[in-house]
Amino acid sequence: MPRITAEARLARRQDFVDATWRLLARTGWRDLTVDDICMEARASKGAFYGYFDRKQDVLLALLDDEAAAKANHPALNRATYGQYPPGSTWKPVVALAAMQEHLLAPWDLIQCTPTATYGRDKQVFRNWNPYVNEPMNLENALAESCDTYFYDIGNRFYSTDRDRMQQWAQRFGFGSVTGLDIGGEAEGLVPTPEWRKKTFTSDWDRAWNPGDSIQLAIGQKDLTVTPLQLARFYAMLANGGKLVTPYLVSTVEQPGVQGTESTTLRRYPADPPQPAGIDPAALEPVRRGLYAATHAVDGTSSGVFATYPVPIAGKTGTAEKVVPLPGYPADHLEDQSWWCGWGPYDGSSFNGKPPIVVCALIENGGHGSTAAAPAALDVFEGEPNLNPRFLALDNVLLQPHMASGTVETRKAMGALVFDNLSAHFQGWPLPTPVL
């Protein structure tokens, strides 16, 4: 959470006071909640507290950290136009494609080893974990992110149909824009044998080799995606197999005058989610594997999410990308840190609100478990309906003062909410409020 100045903090505190007063004047106080006040005082990007609108099956918010973008192409919206190798966040795509093509059953055991060798030239492909050597089913392989398990699947695709993995990826929305209403999207790249033939000139480069399918199976080599494409895919996993069309504009409103409410001039309803044609029997073991990734002892992000009271499911990714940096060779690789997932895991409402999807990318950030996963947890914690402390705030802060008290006391509730949110984000225990 970025630091803010004392002046900015006072301004944000006043926003909460003003928001509470507007709510009291408009709707009364009997059903007022912390969530209501936060929504009314929704902050601009980069402010102390931001409320992210969300609706089931629709992605409404894009996050782009302005604190880190001052010197590094600040006009580039990385959420929609940044193109990155997805690393292991791609493995659920491969798992679904393999099961749909009957190349894999979720209970099949594949030996997870430190290395695997493929091709006529006996090329060695390494696992990120050099100490593992045990048979794994799909759920275990997703939880522990076993590379050699997915190398085997990639080789199965190479040996049967070298386009089918990519065709399923395209069906899941990769390699094309998501349809975001404001435009400005990159398509990313899903490499195919035909693409290699059109792109390169030498016979060696134009050939599709075993290594192309094998590295594609772990989200590496020529593959690139945008964060929004990945978020859309994980929303599909969360909602039971339907692709959503993200949008930012829901209504056009004319502001009210002299305290009156705004007038809605036009509404833009969301496009209905479209079934992706996934067999539920294939989807469910992938979902279980992503839950194990956040809760099993050896899950790659269980150290971040296992003790969080709201059940979260998701996948880490550590993707190598050539990054030009001063003083480094031209082919220097940096790790792009990913975590994508959703919560609550079972899709049920939490505090009466639907689940949300979070996809975090930290450019040149290192491992997914140490950079992106904690950043994703910050987003979940910042969502009032997915943070148990926020639920306690309603009862501890507001209810004792709404049943009785003067108008001025009720107006002060906005400041009280802000002060206690400030305490929460600084890691303090929930204090006993005093008005």
Q: Taking the CA atoms of 356, 359, 362 and 363 in sequence, report the sign of the dihedral they define.
A: negative
Asked if 312 contacts 380 with a C-beta cutoff of 8 angstroms, the reply is: yes
Regarding beta strands 333-343 and 313-322, do their DSSP bridges make them parallel or antiparallel, or are they unpaired? antiparallel
Structure-block tokens of residue 243: 């692709």
Tell me whether residue 349 is one of the annotated catalytic residues: no
For residue 186, how many other CB atoms are within 10 A of its CB? 17
- Alpha-carbon Rg for the chain in angstroms: 24
How far apart are the C-alpha atoms of 102 and 94, rounded to whole Å? 12
CA dihedral 188, 192, 196, 199 (to 10 degrees): -40
* Other beta carbons within 10 Å of 57: 17
Catalytic residue among 88, 213, 302, 337: 88
Token code pair at residue 43 = 């902050």
Which two three-digit tokens encode residue 416?
A: 């009280």
- Separation CA 27–CA 29 (nearest Å): 7
Q: Let me know: does 49 contact 382? Beta carbons within 8 Å.
A: yes
d(CA 48, CA 276): 38
Q: How many CA atoms lie within 13 A of 186 on its CB side?
A: 18
Active site residue ranges: 88
